[in-house]
Amino acid sequence: MKMFGLEWNVPVTPQHTLAVSVLALFVVIGIWDIVAYIRQDQGATVSNILAGWAREFPIFAVAIGAIVGHLFWPLIPPSNGGPR
pLDDT tens column, 26-41: 999 999 999 998 998 8
Say what the pTM is. Answer: 0.57
| Helices and strands in the chain: count of H runs, count of E runs | 3, 2
Domain parsing of the chain, residue ranges: 2-44
Look at residue 57 in the predicted model and tell me its pLDDT.
94
Positive/negative CA dihedral, 53, 51, 26, 62: negative
Look at residue 13 in the predicted model and tell me its pLDDT.
85
φ and ψ of 41, to 5 deg: -105, 80
Q: Does residue 75 have a pLDDT over 70?
A: no
Look at residue 83 in the predicted model and tell me its pLDDT.
57
pLDDT tens column, 47-73: 899 899 999 999 999 998 898 887 777
